[in-house]
A and B are shown apart, each in its own frame.
Chain A
Amino acid sequence: MASNKKYWKSVEELKDSSIVETLSKNEFVDEIATDDFLGDKETLENSSTSRRDFLKYVGFTTAAASLAACEGPVRKSIPYVVKPNDIIAGVADWYATSMADGYDFANVLVKTREGRPIQIMPNKEANGTTTARVQAAILSLYDEKLRLKEPSKSGEVISWADADNAIGAQLASFKNQNKPVVLLTGTLASPSTEQIIAEFIEAYPNTRHVVYDSVSESGAADAMLAMYGKRALPNYHLNKAKTIVSFGADFLSDFHGGFEKSYVNGRKPETGEMSYHVQFESNMSLTGANADKRVVVKPSDQIFALLNLYNAITGNTVASKSTPVDAEVKKMAAELKKNGNKSVVLTGLNDKNAQLVAFAINEALQSDVFDTTNTLNIRQGNDVEVAQLISDMKAGKIAGVLTHNVDPIYSSANATAFAEGLEKVALSVALSTEDSATVNASTYALPTPHFLESWGDTQFDNVTYGLMQPTIQPLFNTRQFQDTLLKWSGNTTTYYEYLKAHASTTILEGSSWSTVLHNGYYKRSIVNQDTFKSTVSIASAAAELFSGAKKASGFELNLYTKTGLGDGRQANNPWLQEFPDPITRTSWDNYLTMSIADAKALGFSNPVKDNGAINGDYAKISLNGIEAVVPVLIQPGQAKGSVGLALGFGKTFGLKEAMQVGVNAYPFYTNSNNIQYGLTIEKTPGYHEFACTQVQKTIAGRHDILKVASLKEYKTVEPKDHHHGWNKPAYVSYDHQEVEANTIDLWDEHNRELGHHFNLSIDLTSCTGCGACVVACHAENNVPVVGKREVRVGRDMHWLRIDRYYSSSVETREDAKELGLSRGDTYKALETEAENPEVTFQPMMCQHCNHAPCETVCPVAATTHGRQGQNQMTYNRCVGTRYCANNCPYRVRRFNWFEYANNNQFDFNMNNQYGKMVLNPDVVVRGRGVMEKCSMCIQMTQATILEAKKEGRPVNTDEFETACSSACTTGSLVFGDVNNKEDKVTALAKDKRAYNVLDYLQTKPNVIYQVKIKNTNEA
């Protein structure tokens, strides 16, 4: 029964760990170390500071401080000389633009204040979505440490004219001698830029264009080329799916750019229909965590399972092997066939043959979900061409290399070969936004602007054409890549003019440029492609796949990207570094994820320290002579015999010291294959200190935090049924009678029907744990970054966190005891279950309780309740007693232990003049010693009210927003005014799935959770 299920957060909780026990009762475990100095009599006696001296110092400093406070500083007000028409100081302007940095692509809206972009939000009109990385890209704009500021040659600053002349002369001489030049870029997905490159190649026929993606999906693109005649990624309309079977495809994270929106659209319990999603995978991925059923299987077995599925669906008999999950595969084959064109199979293996087999299955199913017409233009990287380029460079066959925003010296498995090759090249030019090892190794470094400073266009799928427009004047002496190429090809038009002409003539089909620029996107009609006759043989592809899947001895390494750092492009972004991984809840690190069984066999453990921090043993891993020392994190649900390691970490060149964390996994990424066989692991001495928040902020062992029900239960069982209900209210004993908790109350109720009353509804069914809201909250509320050491000791400042709970169907120790299991058996049972736990995400922020426990204990009334339902925190009134945090059952209050702004000890964005430009001027930067927490974006609700008042109208339906709710891609977070009957949230607040966390405490929160519904595929 769902409500009997027990939830746990860390493997340590399964053991009889006294520390976890203590932590569950106590938020602040560290005793104040008074004995350290008071107990030491000798030190006290030897001290030259007497009690009298001490008082003198105190007196003097107090007097000095109060004297200094008597006169304030003189502040200047400097107006514009000529004010731009569209800027009113203090009023935000929004621009529609597109993000395209080579890895992340999105249609976005950018909020600017006084000409400074301060926030990125999805352009919902364009069906745009944002991830944590897209949200955080705003801070990368202001990265004064890494951004290139001036054009330079071998480290010496030169002028653009000099650079143009010198490079132009060299390019001309190469052209005359017909020496090959290569233009190496990331995925551009920009029609106009591709046109410009084509013209550049026309001007310099000795040039070829190679696309390089640090994290490649070349396999799928090549398979598409072979089977459908175009090199692009297929699109998956998961909202149409009834059955989804995925073999290691992390499609809620970075697989093909992510499909979370369409996935969640196909899983709405209120419609009575939900797709049934089964994930076969080895690493615990975000997608696996959200799956209805997760089947743990090693990567090598995934290949055979895929082949077995192919056989079962098509009736063919390609060579394969039996796997431990064949029973599941058989079941799923039947399920897929049953739902026919409403089912889909995906695989995350970056292998052309594996992709071909998956495509063939979808063809056999005649899947409507699988779309090869409106394809995706991201991840155009071509592994074969890149490999060819590196060998050509090494052989000295290439005369010139022009790179644009790529860093193979960091992100290629052949980094050394590339670096050697680059030295042999006569002309190496790096056009780049940020400094990198590759830029450093090139002769010329030409700065290009950030996408928020640029003109451009994007076309990530065949329908949505997005325009990119500058939202700020260039911060540095930069010139766009496209302008540079135009200039070098002898074209005198500026890129802006070129783009406008290109869009108007070839794309906009008569629509006005200004309208499209204003909207940020244009929906193109798809021209039907010629029917392509594929000559590819699936049988031979399957045979090749089978023979390639040699089962080598040793561990299988599954390389993956994290939702936070992705391919490591934004590694110098403190928001992303501090963003805890949704699964492991660890920030500032990557690590080797290992199954519980393997860890036990090899002797790895993750002891929890008394301050709630986690340590990990180091492992020396080696693969074909490449070695690295990596900390190990035990991951429930990791396939036995496999380990996972995230790409994108371990970048060091030019980064701030604090950001140089983790281990670079790219050297293991041979042939851009995310699966590597034959890894050896050896335990090495020493232990690693993780900044992991998973055992911190516990909810004091309280239950009713999470409620999960199956779709069948949802449809058939009365939610409040006393015995079987899946959303039972809490009962308490009152006058020796069991009554519903909400019938008794300590306080008198206020009338909350007048004016606005805000509620936030969080749907646990559609929350995928992606974390876009976490970063949006950082940007909106000036939440400081505290760094690895502080996160480790539980002082992270996230106002909004996403708790991750594991659950197993076997009950906990107490239940096992009742069953009469011996101690040993209990652990065994629990650990077997822990091999593949269910995962639930729960965004947790201040619950804005109408009967708030924090408010009653504040001695200075610094936290009070507003008429509109918000629990208000008055920083200037707070004296920092922290009573409120201790009395908060939700553990959502955050204390400013230090001054995080203008402090060299916390050298993040609030400590430099560029980074500070991202701060939201409507929200104060908190000082040391005050408590802070989620304000339900009161600055946004107040602004909305003011807007309505100024226009003399009532607030529109669903006009109220918070940063998290506007950033939420899947619509899990819905904010609104429950006193407006039309607002979405009003109905949600009364929904049968709605519940309050810890409702027996009767704190009456204004944050409502919706019971998570899983499709268990029961009849």
Chain B
Amino acid sequence: MKSVLLHSKIVNKLLKGFAIVLLFSISLNSYSQDVDAARQAEGRKLFKSLCASCHKLDKKLVGPALGGVEGRRENEWLLAWIRNNVELRASGDKDAIAIYEEYNGSPMSAFPQLSDGQINDILYYTTVGDPVKQVAATAGAAVSVGDGSGGAPKWIIYLLAAAIIVAFLMIASLLKQVNELKGKKSENKSNIKRDLQELWLGVKGNTFLHVLTTIFVLLMSAYIVFGTLYKVGVNEGYMPLQPIAFSHKIHSGENKIECQYCHSSAKHSKHSGIPSVNVCMNCHENIAEVAEGTVVEWDGVTYGKAQLDKEIAKVYDAAGWDPEELEYTGKTKPIKWVRIHNLPDFAYFNHSQHVTVGGIECQKCHGPVETYDEMRQYSPLTMGWCINCHRETKVDLKGTEYYDNIHKELAEKYNVDKVTIAQLGGLECGKCHY
């Protein structure tokens, strides 16, 4: 069964607290080395743009791991190799030929455009590695901020409840004092009781109040019943637990991958399409692990690098990719994502109509997906919601030959230049129900 609520709250809180403690303890590990941050940054930038598709620092990829390569090879040899390894091999350099053969004769690109300084920066980066961030503090802060903002409404409710109780107590004590002032000290308790009883009798005897109360109760219950029933089947905020902790925030937000790179059928088809595993592997063949310090809020838990690397391993499992041998095993298994946007069968929706023809941003219906770690349904997807947009959106009749005739006739006959989708027949039942 589908549940719109967030997953187990208490567990979340406990885990968060635990994580904070853990992170603070880790943050005590200091880093001492003196690093030339500028060179490191420059080297890292070059490495990421030129080398990272085939090399990693600590792991063999298409080419060998480069961490500490300066300790293994002469700087001169490295410069020659990086600038033009073919030339170096042609000159009969034994080491060059050996390494070429070790990697089954897959040649490395030449980089004649790099200066010695740049190459040395890259090498410097391979030696010192990534800058160590003060992960703990930032992450901890982020967590606590998130916690605070998330809990705010709840606290207010408690506060209000407390205020009401306090007010009630104050009224009670006031009543008590009034009674005391009236001099009925002896029958303190029973007096309140009697007064309340008198009040009750008064209310009971008042027909006007009866009618008023009945109307009020009826209206309230109608409001509640209607409100509840109206929400049946509206799954705004639906956020089911997916089999892989895939974060749109990392992919689309931080790495700025175009939505339609993965959801490529949105421009051609009625379906936006869940990307097939081979699309994931276009990048993930080379990205076996997340960057140090990456965190994802998943099901109320903060996933760190260790956990997220396991999530990438799930993609490898599905694609049948052996990250050690760097080859496909052929043992594939599909990923069973949980569908979030469920339109009923009787409603026909076509992505390409909206994306290609209408030119609508994905975010208009799907929300700020690039900020979501965990994907959820942003819009209510009710008919009223669809219709509203059709009523308000003006169709751009210019620039597409399809509308040329219609545009001309509209202008001639009705002296209208712009029309809404609704005016073009976008509210007709048969346009979406067949």
Contact = CB atoms under 8 A, between A and B. Distances in A.
User: Chain A: interface residue count, which band?
Assistant: 35 or more
Contacts of B348: 922, 924, 939
Contacts of B273: 79, 88-90
Contact of B271 (A75, A90, A868, A873): A90
Contacts of B344: 876
A952 B400 contact: yes
Given A952-B402, A953-B402, A954-B405, A80 B434 contact: no
A692 to B, nearest CB: 31
Interface stretch (B103-111, B119-127, B146-154, B352-360): B352-360
Contacts of A88: 265, 268-269, 273
Given A875-B346, A922-B270, 6 more contacts: A66-B232, A80-B276, A80-B278, A754-B406, A755-B406, A924-B434
What is the predominant secondary structure among interface residues of chain A facing chain B?
Answer: loop
Contacts of A78: 274, 334-337
A42 B69 CA distance: 101
B277 A89 contact: no
Contact of B319 (A81, A754, A870): A81
B428 A867 contact: yes
A70 B276 contact: no
Given A867-B425, A946-B350, A81 B269 contact: no
B332 interface: yes
Interface in B1-49: 1-3
3 closest A-B pairs by CB: A872-B430, A90-B269, A83-B276
B62 to A, nearest CB: 21
B431 to A, nearest CB: 7
B431 A942 contact: yes
6 contacts: A69-B232, A78-B336, A81-B277, A753-B409, A864-B428, A949-B357
Nearest to B318: A81
Nearest to A861: B429
B30 to A, nearest CB: 46
B233 interface: yes
A953 B402 CA distance: 5
A976 to B, nearest CB: 16
A82 B331 CA distance: 12
A79 B352 contact: no
Given A69-B233, A79-B274, A89-B271, A946 B352 contact: yes
Interface residues of B, number: 60
A75 B278 contact: no
Given A870-B430, A954-B401, A74 B335 contact: no
Nearest to A72: B2
B336 to A, nearest CB: 5
A953 B337 contact: no
A226 interface: no
Given A69-B232, A754-B409, A939-B348, A955 B318 contact: no
B275 A79 contact: yes
Nearest to B267: A950
B346 A876 contact: yes
B67 interface: no
Contacts of B327: none
Given A81-B276, A952-B400, A953-B401, A755 B425 contact: yes
A389 to B, nearest CB: 48
Nearest to A867: B425
Given A82-B278, A754-B409, A874-B429, A72 B434 contact: no
A79 B338 contact: no
B48 to A, nearest CB: 28
A946 B338 contact: no
Interface of A: 66, 69-83, 88-91, 751, 753-755, 862, 864, 866-868, 870, 872-877, 922-925, 935, 938-939, 942, 945-946, 948-950, 952-955
Interface string B205-244: 0000000000000000000000001001101000010000
B332, B339, B433 — most chain A CB neighbours (10 Å): B433
A870 B429 CA distance: 11
Interface in B254-271: 265, 268-271
B335 A79 contact: yes
B265 A75 contact: no
B404 interface: yes
Given A73-B2, A872-B429, A952-B402, A83 B345 contact: no
A874 B406 contact: no
B352 A950 contact: yes
A82 B332 contact: yes
B337 A79 contact: yes
Interface of B: 1-3, 229, 232-233, 235, 240, 265, 268-271, 273-279, 318-320, 332-339, 342, 344-348, 350, 352-353, 356-357, 399-402, 404-406, 409-410, 413, 424-425, 428-431, 433-434
Contacts of A66: 229, 232
B2 A81 contact: no
A798 B56 CA distance: 65
Contacts of B431: 866, 942
A978 to B, nearest CB: 14
B333 A75 contact: no
Contacts of A90: 265, 268-271, 273
Contacts of B2: 71-74
Contacts of B332: 81-82
Contacts of A80: 276-278, 334
Contacts of A952: 399-402
A18 to B, nearest CB: 42
Contact of B425 (A868, A874, A875): A868
A901 to B, nearest CB: 11
Contact of B274 (A77, A862, A948): A77
Contacts of B274: 77-79
A946 B269 contact: no
A596 B279 CA distance: 71
A924 B337 CA distance: 24
Contacts of A69: 232-233
Contacts of B345: 924-925
A144 to B, nearest CB: 23
B402 A77 contact: no
Contacts of A864: 428-430
Contacts of B275: 79
Contacts of A754: 406, 409-410, 413
B342 A75 contact: yes
A89 B269 CA distance: 7
A755 B424 contact: yes
A923 B346 CA distance: 8
B339 A77 contact: yes
Contact of B434 (A75, A82, A923): A923
B337 A77 contact: yes
Nearest to B383: A876
A74 B240 contact: yes
Given A80-B276, A82-B276, A91-B265, A866 B400 contact: no
Nearest to A939: B434
B276 A874 contact: no
B240 A938 contact: no
A754 B410 CA distance: 8
A874 B357 contact: no
Nearest to A114: B271
Contact of B430 (A74, A82, A89, A935): A935
A74 B430 CA distance: 28
A70 B270 contact: no
Nearest to B264: A88
A77 B406 contact: no
Contacts of A868: 425
A91 B430 contact: no
Nearest to A979: B405
Contacts of B1: 71, 73-74
Contacts of A954: 401-402, 404-405
A949 B240 CA distance: 35
Nearest to B241: A74
A950 B350 CA distance: 12
